[in-house]
A and B are shown apart, each in its own frame.
Chain A
Amino acid sequence: MPRRGKVALTQFAIVLGLILIWELGVRAGLIDPFFFPAPSTLIARIGEWMSTADFWTDVSITLLETVLSFLAGIGIGTALGIWLGLSPFAAEVLQPFIKMFNAIPRILLGPIFVIWFGLGLTSKVALGVTLVLFVAFFNTFQGVREVNPVVLANARLLRASKSSLLRHVYLPSATTWILSSLRVSVGMAVMGAVVAEYLGSSAGLGHLIAQAEGVLDATGVFAGIIVLSAFVVALDAIVDRAEKRLLVWRPAPAHEA
């Protein structure tokens, strides 16, 4: 515990120090506030935003898009991973196509999704899904493939049916893999939502940043980035809790014991 306290304290000191240097640099005229607006202005801007209803609409829209693309991506990716993990034939057939799709820089799909689905929620979720899906897919696939053969043999000897195997053996085994990639998936979902908003939308945090950029308002861009970071950190904390709850059965890593 004292070590953890020390770590937190040092982290806090680094952040505080950086902010202080930045702020003083701007005030002393060493840093141009047009490119690097002072932290105090950023805080003031965020405070200003938080008092408007529009800002909270932006946040909730981005949150909704993130959650939807996260859930849909995990769902589709997991289903696909289980299917291909259990069917070597299908895996072999589909492998080159999956690799090809995964090789497409997803940002390029943004404009296409806007054309297909319009400027609303759907195009944002679609982009997020294409990002999350592959992370979930590859991890589930791996998890299903790497089920301990002894555990599997034992379950079969206890006369597990196909669906029982799926429910009690394959899925829990894949869950560890999916969960370990959850953080990456959340990041991907946020990225998908924000990038899609940035490319073309009428609301959301990405839209907010794009608007500020449009008028060369560095304060708005920086403030937007800070809000976005806080947003991701908050989601990360939720994922952390979910992971701890779902993986109680796993031995604690040696350094935490």
Chain B
Amino acid sequence: MEGQPALAVDLRDVMIRFGDFTAVKSMNLQVGETEFVAVVGPTGCGKSTILNTVTGLLKPAAGEVRIFGKSLRGLNGQSGYMLQQEGLLPWKTAQDNVGLGLVFQGSSIAKAREQARPWLAKVGLKGFEERYPHQLSGGQRKRVAMTQTLIMQPKIVLMDEPFSALDVHTRRLMHRILLDLWQADRRSLVFITHDLDEAITLADRVVVMSAGPASRMVGDVRITLPRPRDLSALQTTDEFVALYREIWSLLGAEVEKSYATQG
């Protein structure tokens, strides 16, 4: 590893336990400074646990978490976390929600708004600045939530199944917006999903986890699809299908196992 830039995220043999329950047995995950990594796995395999570990909310029982080469102590100051569920403040307008993190950092509300507006424009929400969350559609709310995380310019972006509640078309749109933003300003991004299509479409690498409990990493596949990607035709290309088959051969067995243990 000498001479190379430090990895943004480096999990080494990380084990996570809750009391006697071992959620993750051994996880090795390396994410480069400008790399987009998707983590897939059957439900209950501890995907979210991984993100909580990177954020510093969970302490590993064994192994080491390194962030930009430094061992993580306490909360990770370099990460931004986008949750799966709706976390917008219903009593704040779209622009005030986007600027929330800035206000928390001590910025004035007027200043935060000023910075929030161009971000809303970037995700196609110009003209929606004064709307309250309940006046926005599900996809629009997701876009607000996304900019809420990204406006803080975190060096490491963590996303936990952010688009799982959306319909297919809205999800496609979100993929395009996310890739455009990421392409324009590449960061280290860890994206959790159970949707293999989504993982291959977006990521540079797809990491496959085994069925839980005591899950571990069972595969790490480089996605060779060229960038920038044309999402409209991507999923029907031979390359995509070949990658899908390759990863599914790893993931499919684990999904079967998770069904078996769940009865």
Q: Footprint of B on A, CB under 8 Å?
A: 150-151, 153-155, 157-161, 164, 168-169, 172-173, 175, 248-251
For residue B89, CB closer than 8 A to chain A, the reply is yes
Q: What sequence of 0s and 1s flags, for each residue 75-106 of chain B, a beta carbon within 8 Å of any chain A beta carbon?
A: 00000110101111111110000001101110
A-B contact pairs, 20 of them (CB 8 A): A153-B83, A154-B83, A154-B145, A154-B148, A155-B87, A155-B89, A155-B104, A157-B55, A157-B81, A158-B101, A158-B104, A158-B152, A159-B105, A160-B100, A164-B103, A168-B89, A168-B100, A168-B104, A249-B133, A250-B90
Give Cα A53 to B46, complex, Å: 76
Distance to closest chain A CB from B22 (angstroms): 24
Given A150-B87, A168-B89, A249-B92, residue A158 in contact with residue B134 (CB < 8 A) = no
Distance to closest chain B CB from A168 (angstroms): 7
Interface centre among B55, B80, B90, B91 (most CB of A within 10 A): B91
Give Cα A169 to B85, complex, Å: 17
A150 near B104 with CB under 8 A, answer: no
B55 near A159 with CB under 8 A, answer: no
Query: Which residues on the A side are within 8 Å of B132 (C-beta)?
Result: 248-249
Given A159-B104, A160-B104, A249-B132, residue A154 in contact with residue B87 (CB < 8 A) = yes
Given A157-B83, A158-B152, A251-B134, residue A151 in contact with residue B101 (CB < 8 A) = no
Contact of A249 among B80, B91, B101, B148 (CB under 8 A): B91
B89 near A169 with CB under 8 A, answer: yes
Chain B residue nearest to A169 (CB atoms) is B89
Sample of 11 further A-B pairs with CB below 8 A, known A157-B55, A248-B132? A150-B85, A150-B86, A151-B86, A157-B80, A159-B101, A159-B104, A164-B103, A164-B104, A168-B92, A168-B103, A169-B89
Interface centre among B90, B92, B93 (most CB of A within 10 A): B90
Distance to closest chain A CB from B249 (angstroms): 35
Query: Which residues on the B side are within 8 Å of A168 (C-beta)?
Result: 89, 92, 100, 103-104
Give Cα A248 to B104, complex, Å: 23
Interface centre among A150, A161, A169 (most CB of B within 10 A): A150
Given A248-B132, A249-B134, A250-B134, residue A161 in contact with residue B87 (CB < 8 A) = no
Query: Which residues on the A side are within 8 Å of B55 (C-beta)?
Result: 157
Q: Footprint of A on B, CB under 8 Å?
A: 55, 80-81, 83, 85-93, 100-101, 103-105, 132-134, 145, 148-149, 152
Contact of B87 among A153, A164, A173, A251 (CB under 8 A): A153
Interface centre among A160, A173, A249, A251 (most CB of B within 10 A): A249
Contact of A158 among B86, B90, B93, B100 (CB under 8 A): B100
Chain A residue nearest to B87 (CB atoms) is A154
Chain B residue nearest to A247 (CB atoms) is B91
Chain A residue nearest to B100 (CB atoms) is A158
Distance to closest chain A CB from B155 (angstroms): 14
Chain B residue nearest to A163 (CB atoms) is B104
**Interchain residue pairs A-B with the least CB separation, the first 9:** A154-B87, A158-B101, A251-B134, A249-B132, A172-B91, A249-B91, A157-B81, A150-B85, A160-B104
Distance to closest chain B CB from A67 (angstroms): 26
Query: Which residues on the A side are within 8 Å of B86 (C-beta)?
Result: 150-151
Interface centre among B80, B87, B132 (most CB of A within 10 A): B87
Distance to closest chain B CB from A125 (angstroms): 31
Query: Which residues on the B side are within 8 Å of A251 (C-beta)?
Result: 134
B90 near A249 with CB under 8 A, answer: yes
Give Cα A158 to B101, complex, Å: 5
A150 near B83 with CB under 8 A, answer: yes
Distance to closest chain B CB from A91 (angstroms): 25
Query: Which residues on the B side are within 8 Å of A249 (C-beta)?
Result: 90-93, 132-134
Chain A residue nearest to B89 (CB atoms) is A151
Distance to closest chain A CB from B196 (angstroms): 26
Give Cα A10 to B5, complex, Å: 79
Query: Which residues on the B side are within 8 Å of A169 (C-beta)?
Result: 89
Query: Which residues on the A side are within 8 Å of B88 (C-beta)?
Result: 151, 154
